[in-house]
């Protein structure tokens, strides 16, 4: 009985902490469908902790209200795994099976995280002000401003569900992308129930080898996804750490898929900012320094534009001046970058204070994606630059068409876009032929030996 009480207490508590009402504050009308829906969502967790138990104290054990609530909660799942599939600072995810046979992932926000997060931000703000007072060169107030803006969005799981649906529709032309479908009937602001999708983390090379997943294909497809999000749509998933990006073989088709999870943190890019950022990357790929300077300054970097270019690309200034697509990454260059990052910390702090706030999450996203590419050993590959260039060309052409009413001008822009894309495809084909010839030459050489 004690074990049953512990489980019911943990389940029922989520009704209180996650659905926004307390049973002791109002009469529980079980004919109210919204209450039943919240109750269903509430049965999402079985974490037995002090916080959950103390919240349950408001429903007296053995009362009619207690047994009615328990009866409703027991209707939710055929099975529910008490041990979470994953846990983080804001929430944890449990695997469950509904009565219709569907397997779902149930993401449950930790109790008290709403109140605690605001206190944490306040403490961070005080500490950063103190550091800034002691060391005026280190100005990190942008960190507090971003936390204040983004934390409420990350704590609203309904917002996360809407983001997931939006990006799934936006990138529906990519057959390799899987975004979990949301079960809205079992979701609230603090509980999100979604399709359960399994896979290995995107940086797990052993998993990919075991399941015959092509590392280069994964890296290329990940680049395609993010190039579309950033340059074409301006709606960017900003937390692509390996735990949120899974890879797998589709159980039905056996084709390789990328599973994108955790849609709480997105950055919406304004059109003018997106175009400047797009043109900056085109200039970085080509090594056009005058345009690198022009668009870096337009994005707020000022005289620190060389540092800005190096931060965005994680390349040395020598590589930037030569064109990042034509210079391979070396170990010596990585060491140089790490050394300079420590030396130029005050300038980096100044730069992050200068640039538009939209840039901050993009910088973080770039770093996470580069980390994945480094692990997969696909960093600075020609295919990633080609896909990025292709999206930039399309984005610029679309923007130009939106600014003109002339049919003749529309046609000119479309023809110029088609020509640029054709040149890029020819270049890609030549690289493929060159690579194939090199492969055959090496194979013949090895056979001869």
| Cα→Cα distances 370→160, 224, 234, 348, 367, Å | 25, 14, 20, 19, 5
Report whether 258 contacts 178 (CB < 8 A): yes
Helix, strand, or coil here: 82?
coil
Closest by CA to 310, choosing from 370, 254, 394, is 370
- Cα 243 from chain centroid (whole Å): 10
Catalytic residue among 29, 137, 239, 276: 239
| Positive/negative CA dihedral, 63, 67, 72, 78 | positive
Beta bridge mates, 266 = 237
Contacts of 340 (CB under 8 A, 6+ apart): 310
Contact 375, 164 (CB under 8 A): no
DSSP of 110-129? PTTHHHHHHHHHHHHHHHHH
Instruction: Give the position of tokens 């469950």.
Output: 96
Residues 38 and 44: their CA atoms lie apart, in Å, by 10
Name 296's bridge partners. Answer: none
DSSP secondary structure, 402-426, as one string: HT---HHHHHHHHHHHHHHHHHHHH
Annotation marks residue 239 as catalytic: yes
Q: What is the distance between the alpha carbons of residues 326 and 145, in angstroms, rounded to a whole number?
A: 38
Among all chains, which residue has been given the structure tokens 């047994």?
Answer: 67
Of 207, 315, 302, nearest to 259 (Cα)? 207
Q: Please report the DSSP string for 256-304 in residue order.
A: EEEEE---S-EEEPPHHHHHHHHHHHHHHHHT-HHHHHHHHHHTT-GGG
- For residues 207 and 200, the answer to whether their CB atoms sit within 8 Å is yes
Distance CA 47, CA 87 (A): 11
DSSP 251: T
The token duo for 93 is 């995810």
Dihedrals φ, ψ of 361, to 5°? -70, -30
Give me the active site residues, please. 239
């Amino acid at each position: 009985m004690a074990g049953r009480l512990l489980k019911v207490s943990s389940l029922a508590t989520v009704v209180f902490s996650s659905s926004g009402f307390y049973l002791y504050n109002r009469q529980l009308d079980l004919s109210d469908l919204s209450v039943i829906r919240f109750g269903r969502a509430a049965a999402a967790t079985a974490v037995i902790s002090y916080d959950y138990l103390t919240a349950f104290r408001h429903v007296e054990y053995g009362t009619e209200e207690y047994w009615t609530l328990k009866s409703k909660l027991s209707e939710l799942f055929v099975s529910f795994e008490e041990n979470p599939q994953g846990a983080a600072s804001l929430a944890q995810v449990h695997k469950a099976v509904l009565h219709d046979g569907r397997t779902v992932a149930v993401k449950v926000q930790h109790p008290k995280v709403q109140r605690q997060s605001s206190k944490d931000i306040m403490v961070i703000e005080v500490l950063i002000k103190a550091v800034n007072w002691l060391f005026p060169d280190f100005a990190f107030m942008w960190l507090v401003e971003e936390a204040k803006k983004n934390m409420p969005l990350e704590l609203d799981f309904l917002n996360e569900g809407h983001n997931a649906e939006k990006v799934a529709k936006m990138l529906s032309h990519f057959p390799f992308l899987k975004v979990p479908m949301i079960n809205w009937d079992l979701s609230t602001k603090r509980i999100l129930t979604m399709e359960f999708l399994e896979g290995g983390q995107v940086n797990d090379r052993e998993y990919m080898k075991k399941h015959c997943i092509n590392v280069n294909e994964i890296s290329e497809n990940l680049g395609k996804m993010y190039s579309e999000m950033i340059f074409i749509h301006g709606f960017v998933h900003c937390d692509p750490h390996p735990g949120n990006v899974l890879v797998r073989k589709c159980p039905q088709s056996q084709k390789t898929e990328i599973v994108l999870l955790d849609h709480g943190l997105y950055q919406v890019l304004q059109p003018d900012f997106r175009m400047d950022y797009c043109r900056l990357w085109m200039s970085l790929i080509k090594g056009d320094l005058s345009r690198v300077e022009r668009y870096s300054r337009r994005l707020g970097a000022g005289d620190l534009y060389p540092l800005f270019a190096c931060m965005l690309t994680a390349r040395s200034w020598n590589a930037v001046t030569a064109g990042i697509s034509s210079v391979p990454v070396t170990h010596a260059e990585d060491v140089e970058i790490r050394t300079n990052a420590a030396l130029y910390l005050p300038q980096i702090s100044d730069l992050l204070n200068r640039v538009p706030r939209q840039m901050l999450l993009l910088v973080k996203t770039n770093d996470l994606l580069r980390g994945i590419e480094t692990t997969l050993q696909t960093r600075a590959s020609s295919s990633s630059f080609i896909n990025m260039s292709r999206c930039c060309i399309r984005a610029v052409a679309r923007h130009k068409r939106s600014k003109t009413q002339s049919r003749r001008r529309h046609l000119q822009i479309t023809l110029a876009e088609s020509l640029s894309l054709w040149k890029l495809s020819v270049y890609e084909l030549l690289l493929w032929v060159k690579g194939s010839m090199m492969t055959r030459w090496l194979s013949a050489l090895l056979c001869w030996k």
